Amino acid sequence: MLYHILAIGDVTSEDGLKHLRRHLSPLKKLKSIDFTVVNGENISGTGLTPAQADELFAAGADVITLGNHTWGKIKIHDFLDDCRACLRPANFAPELPGNGWGIFESVNGLRVGVINLIGRVSMDPNVDNPFRKADAILEQMAGGAD
């Protein structure tokens, strides 16, 4: 069976969010998209607010990823603990709010594993090795952990 997964890179600014609100749902219908991952950490320039995350989900995102600007908006801290589908990088320190990966189900029953990792080149090097972290998460996923 063929599945269509759409990954959208950095959505920047409120104009980018407005564009997604207008065009993502029709695009998903047109292209028979089963699952959509959107990077939303730059909507506010540096960071994402819970209200903006809610708008991304309403526009059609199934999962939102964040990156080096994860903590740019303080309001996101508590939101990350409550919203399983808004992922900060998994190789951030484990005691930080939120999750870095998950297994999600699309509307048609497709189970999709999403891992969000941040690199260390030209970034804050104070994160776990993304390759080792990916290996550890893939082992957890294979074991049925979520």
Going by C-alpha positions, the residue among 37, 50, 89 that lies closest to residue 67 is 89
Q: Are 43 and 53 in contact (CB under 8 A)?
A: no
Catalytic residue among 4, 19, 23, 69: 69
Q: Are 77 and 49 in contact (CB under 8 A)?
A: no
- Is 77 marked active-site? no
Our measurement of the distance from residue 143's CA atom to the centroid of its chain's CA atoms, rounded to an integer in Å, reads 22
Integer distance in angstroms from the first to the last C-alpha of the chain?
24
Active-site residue set? 69
